[in-house]
């Protein structure tokens, strides 16, 4: 598993190192099929792949985003953005071909 952390946000999680073809196609399909704001779409794509999620502010990533309010809402939004963009980068890097291939 690839491990990702953001100490400033108090967040860590893992994404698969060697996803199956089904995992990749599911991510890509979700991204194509989902209409809505870009960050929300990327969040919904990565959400099923998140493992070992640890975050005090946002302990359960499956909590509906419209239920995150109050003083931690802005930080929760930053957490979602970090995970969404990290997931997008993870997916793009799967396409990278190593020089030894």
Instruction: Give 7-39 pLDDT, tens digit per residue.
Output: 999 999 999 999 999 999 999 999 999 888 999
Please write the tens of the pLDDT for every residue from 45-83: 999 999 999 999 999 999 999 999 998 999 999 999 999
Longest dimension (CA), the chain: 50
- For the entire predicted model, the pTM comes to 0.89
* Residues 6+ positions from 13 with CB-CB distance below 8 Å: 3, 4, 50, 51, 52, 53, 54, 55, 61, 83
């Amino acid at each position: 598993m690839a491990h990702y952390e953001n100490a400033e946000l108090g967040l860590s999680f893992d994404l698969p190192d060697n996803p199956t073809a089904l995992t990749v196609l599911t991510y890509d399909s979700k991204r194509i099929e989902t209409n809505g704001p870009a960050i929300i779409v990327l969040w919904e794509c990565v959400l099923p792949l998140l493992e070992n999620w640890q975050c005090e502010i946002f302990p359960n990533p499956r909590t509906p985003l419209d239920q995150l309010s109050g003083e931690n809402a802005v930080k929760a939004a930053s957490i979602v953005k970090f995970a969404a963009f990290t997931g997008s980068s993870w997916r793009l890097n799967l396409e990278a071909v190593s020089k030894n291939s």
